[in-house]
Amino acid sequence: MRASHVRLVRLAQVLCLPALAGCTSAARPVAARYPQARPGDDAELTLQFSHAVAGAHVSINGHPVVMGAHTARIVVAGLPPGELAVMLAADGIEKAFTLELEPGQHVMVPIAAAPARDGPSPIVQALLGVTAYLLVRAVGALL
């Protein structure tokens, strides 16, 4: 293979592979710790979504604990006992609620979420298709 062909193949890898890798990211459980935790703060809050959500942001008592997560479960540990103000935003979901936690208490809050689309967005699919087509044509013209 000529050097120009090798460069073209490397260019295709640089352009296409990162885009494809970003399209297949899977939702993972998120474990977070309350930023103002003190020794003895051992209450825990679990937010359990019915379906994975993207771009989840959670703050407790005004302190951000999760930002931009792709997940179906968020567990926040190190919470102080007493009243907590929880704010959540993710994939079209906006919720704000208060909880009263006892020392050592573990609370699970179920949250309804719409099923996420599988795969990349239609725009990303179209761009990847056009890029692949152009690369195949360019390689074919050089051979």
The answer to pTM > 0.95 is: no
What's the chain's average pLDDT? 82
Return d(Cα 75, Cα 30) in angstroms, integer.
6
Phi, psi at 120, each rounded to 5°: -75, 165
Percent of the chain with pLDDT over 90: 51
Contacts of 20 (CB under 8 A, 6+ apart): 128
pLDDT of residue 24: 47
Beta bridge partners of 110: 48
Domain 26-116 grouped into CATH 2.60.40.10: yes
pLDDT of residue 85: 97
* In the predicted structure, residue 5 carries a pLDDT above the cut 60: no
* In the predicted structure, residue 28 carries a pLDDT above the cut 60: yes
pLDDT of residue 65: 96
CB atoms within 10 A of CB 51: 13
* Of 43-52, 74-83, 118-127, the least confident: 118-127
What does the chain come to in residues? 143
Query: What one-character-per-residue DSSP string does 61-103 give?
Result: TTEEEEEEEEEEEEEEEEEPSEEEEEEEEETTEEEEEEEEE-T
* In the predicted structure, residue 4 carries a pLDDT above the cut 80: no
